[in-house]
Structure 1
Amino acid sequence: MTSRPTSTPMASPSVADPRVAGEDPARIRATIARAPLFAALPIAAIEDLTGRVNVRKVSVGSAVVAQDEPGDAMFVIMSGRVKVVMFGESGREVTLSLLRSGDSFGEMSLFDQGPRSAHCLAIEPTTLLVLSRDDLMKHMQAHPRTAINLVSEMARRLRRADETIAQLALCDVNERLIHRLVALGREEGASGPDGLVVRRRPTQQELANMIGSCRETISRAFNQLARDGLIIPRGRSLVVTPALIERAEKKKAA
């Protein structure tokens, strides 16, 4: 059975801390400015946030936060990737989302003061901007536009959760896999001559964790899509073809 991760206690870094001193303030500012949560904020708000965040570096496999722990800070990914997961009683892992540079997480506990709702694990060496509850509240008092952005972001996540629930209830494994691959292409892919190129192809176990299935079932479905030319495995990358995107859109509209 998979052991459940626990997060590393987080000290407040000081200016002398190399985790902070080694970071370019302009890079911190740029990360905040491109984060969807802080999109279109005025310069004064970006500067205020830049002065409030701390920097934390996390190694591969480390838990940034652990489910059911109290939460007193939110995070913005500066570089690297984080997966949001839950574990069943048997240790089975379900991946709720994959987050990359500019994405934020951990906001929910800051508002309802409840425990963390899931584990967040670094899947690459990751650098995070850390914003405490107190600093976020003080910032929003001075810059209420950030609160509006937060509401919009929460609504977007709720809409996505509704779509995921509907897929689990109404779609078979093949359809769920198609939707997940198309989503990966749109979120992480770069345009290429044959379609959207996902630089890092997820493993079949990772895909199984994302859509609530087992690796053996995903292997059969994935290989069939490849034989049909709807996806093109290419070394460590994966091409999501326009034909697969069209198929997903038709099923969504049906």
Structure 2
Amino acid sequence: MDNLWYLHGEDFFAGLEEEKRLFLQKAVHRRFQKNDIVFFEGDPGDACFYIASGLVRIFSIHDSGKEPVFFLRRAGELFGISEVLGGYPRKANAQAIAPSEIHAVRGQDFDALLAAHYPLARRVISLLGSRIRHLGDSIRNLVVCSVEGRLIKLLIALVYDLLPDAEAWRRPVTVPLRISQEQLASMAGTTQPTVSDLLQKLQKEGQIRVERRRITLLHPLRLLSGVDGMTEALSTGKALRRG
């Protein structure tokens, strides 16, 4: 079983060139600077979004001031789909955490595209199904995977696009954005002090290097091989290639 299945993603429109052309024809094109808000929780769910470049976090804000991060959406991904299909208000916030180019299509236009293009509708159904599966795996990880294992998987996810082949998995790679320990903690389902302790531990072990909120994985393959349940995936090489 490939334990990194959720990272093996092509561009959402891969193989759907005509559908992508029609989507972009209908879209409003916007550029977001780092920290710009795409939408707030409670906003009307009247559009869906395609990321041409950049990185977007989907998160909530609690009364305590904590901001748990549910997902990171990368270039080539579609987001905001579930609300636009049902016309529901947004259930979370979306924020660019790097300069991003995003294309937004109104709900009625997206519905018309889905009705007229079965391959696009099928791709959306498949995408939503995979995200439900990912949520299930995330809940399972919270129950059975150690906090250290969850943190390592998160670090691998953040650098995955920079690991195109087996050789790259054996070279140092730096997380391509500055990310706080609080953000890492919210995404890994733990606390900031725990993340701090684990980063120090991994650094002492020679697995990572931390400098000014920049984290470098010194040997991604070796780091991942120590995570619970990853040995089989790594031995077959499935974790080293895109699906």
TM bracket (short chain):
0.7 to 0.9
Matches within 5 A, 1:104-143: 104-143=78-117
RMSD: 2.5
Distance in 1 between residues matched to 2:174 and 2:220, nearest whole Å? 9
Structure 1 partner of 2:199: 222
CA contact (8 A) 2:158 2:176 kept: no
CA contact (8 A) 2:57 2:96 kept: yes
Shift of 1:195: 4.7
Q: Residues 57 and 199 (structure 1 numbering): CA distance in 2 closer, same or farther, change over 3 Å?
A: closer
Matches within 5 A, 1:20-39: 36-39=11-14
Matches within 5 A, 1:141-220: 141-189=115-163, 191=168, 193-220=170-197
CA contact (8 A) 2:170 2:220 kept: no
Q: Which runs of 5+ in 2 are unaligned?
A: 1-8, 233-243
Shift of 1:224: 0.4
Shift of 1:134: 1.1
Q: Which whole-Å deviations, capped at 9, do the CAs of 1:172-231 have from their partners, x for residues lacking one? A: 322221221222232455626525443335332221121122222111111101111222
Percent of pairs identical after alignment?
A: 27
CA contact (8 A) 1:59 1:122 kept: yes
1:238 aligns with 2:216: yes
SS in 2 for 1:90: coil
CA contact (8 A) 1:182 1:248 kept: no
Q: Which runs of 5+ in 1 are unaligned?
A: 1-33
TM-score norm. by structure 1 comes to 0.77
1:56 aligns with 2:34: no
1:100 aligns with 2:100: no
SS in 2 for 1:79: strand
Matches within 5 A, 1:34-49: 36-41=11-16, 43-49=17-23
Max Rg structure: 1
SS in 2 for 1:80: strand
**Which stretches of structure 1, 4 residues or more, deviate above 4 A after TM superposition?**
187-190
TM-score norm. by structure 2 comes to 0.80
SS in 2 for 1:141: helix
CA contact (8 A) 2:47 2:107 kept: yes
Tell me which of the two structures has the higher relative contact order, counting C-alpha pairs closer than 8 angstroms and 6 or more residues apart: 2
Question: Please, which moves more after superposition, 87-96 or 228-237?
Answer: 228-237
Amino acid at match of 1:117: K
Shift of 1:251: 5.5
Distance in 2 between residues matched to 1:38 and 1:69, nearest whole Å? 26
Distance in 2 between residues matched to 1:144 and 1:238, nearest whole Å? 43
CA contact (8 A) 1:201 1:238 kept: no
CA contact (8 A) 2:224 2:230 kept: no
Distance in 2 between residues matched to 1:111 and 1:92, nearest whole Å? 29
